[in-house]
Amino acid sequence: MSDRITLIHALADSVQPIHAAFGRHWPEADRFDLLDTSLSADLAAAGDLTTAIRERFLTLGQYAAQQVGVGGKTAAILFTCSAFGPAIDAVKAALPIPVLKPNESAFADALATGRRIGLLVTFLPSLASLRAELRTMAAASGQSIDIEAKYIEGALAALKAGDTTTHDRLIAEAATALPAPDVIVLGQFSMARAANLVSNASACPVITTPDAAVLGLRRLVGQF
């Protein structure tokens, strides 16, 4: 039996992109999903990571770590929700198995690519959290970086309404407005669908979080 990978989501829009990335990079992985869409709604309403939200993350992580099924025991957990970094750090500290934040691998790839980093998000609560996470990672590796972070208003609402064309167009337009980045990170899993359009509109490399996360997870559990 192969080890299980648990994927924990706060947005339903993140499910398809991460499974598509597994299909491209690690199709044999045995993965299953935990979805709690109230997390993103409650964070947006509260405006901050409350103690109750942090405790719910711990509960989800502990539940996932205890699962054993036909695919074996849980080997690692990947969170796909980008606005909850400190809550995920608490899960990392509490569990004996690898726990990966959604943007960890993408940010590592970006830091290896250049110092001028464009960071795009479509969920406003993610903006400050991801900017801080990227700066922390850069400082830990002794790197000096410039971050141009931008929230793309209306893109996520368009995606939720089924208007994928507008969603992708708004992201591509935001990418072209960035001031000469060395690399662009699409900061949420749900944005990965716009990667080709962004690549066509931009002269620099474009990193998507689902693809980077799957490759990073494979390395983390020794499968790559």
CATH of the domain at 135: 3.40.50.1860
40 vs 113, residue with greater confidence: 113
Q: How far apart are CA 145 and CA 77, in angstroms?
A: 29
The side-by-side arrangement of strands in the sheet containing 206-208 is: 146-151, 116-121, 183-186, 206-208
Find the mean pLDDT for residues 201-206. Answer: 93
129 lies in the same domain as 111? yes
My answer on whether 39 and 110 are in the same domain is: no
Question: Residues 125-139: what's their mean pLDDT?
Answer: 92
Q: How far apart are CA 133 and CA 96, in angstroms?
A: 22
Same domain, 59 and 123: no
Mean per-residue pLDDT, 28-36: 92
pLDDT-derived band at 221, boundaries 50, 70, 90: confident
Q: 109 and 204: one domain?
A: yes
Model confidence at 57: pLDDT above 50? yes
> Quick one: 88 and 112 in the same domain?
no
Res 155: pLDDT: 97
- Can you say how many angstroms the Cα of residue 71 is from the centroid of all Cα atoms in its chain? 24
- Give the confidence band of 1 by pLDDT, cuts at 50, 70, 90: very low
Segment 66-92, tens digit of pLDDT = 877 666 788 999 999 888 888 999 999
The percent of residues above 70 in pLDDT, for the chain, comes to: 96
For the four alpha carbons of 208, 213, 219 and 223, in that order, the dihedral sign comes to: negative
Q: 9-13, 31-35, 36-40, 165-169 — which one is most confidently predicted on average?
A: 165-169
Arithmetic mean of pLDDT, 143-155: 97
Q: 64 and 121 share a domain?
A: no
- Which domain covers residue 97, as residue numbers? 4-102+211-220
98/153 same-domain check: no
The answer to whether 64 and 43 have CB atoms below 8 angstroms apart is no
Considering only CA atoms, which of 57, 87, 76 is closest in space to residue 223?
Answer: 76
> In terms of pLDDT, which residue wins out, 61 or 72?
61
For residues 139 and 64, membership in a common domain is answered with: no
**pLDDT score, position 222:** 75
Residue 65 confidence class, pLDDT cut points 50, 70, 90:
very high
Strand positions, DSSP E, 10-165: 30-35, 68-69, 72-79, 99-100, 116-121, 146-151
Separation between Cα atoms, residue 83 and residue 33, nearest integer Å:
18
* 98 burial level (CB within 10 Å; 0-12, 13-18, 19+): middle
Q: Which residues contact 30 (CB under 8 A, 6 or more apart)?
A: 1, 2, 3, 4, 5, 71, 72
Pair (133, 93) in one structural domain? no
pTM across the whole model: 0.88
User: What pLDDT score does 223 carry?
Assistant: 61
- b vs e for 140-152, b when ≥16 Cβ sit within 10 Å of the residue's Cβ? eeeeebebbbbbb
- Nearest 5°: phi and psi at 156? -65, -40
Q: Same domain for 23 and 62? A: yes
Number of domains in the chain: 2
Structure tokens at 83: 């606005």
Identify the three-state secondary structure at position 207.
strand
What average pLDDT does the structure give for the chain? 92
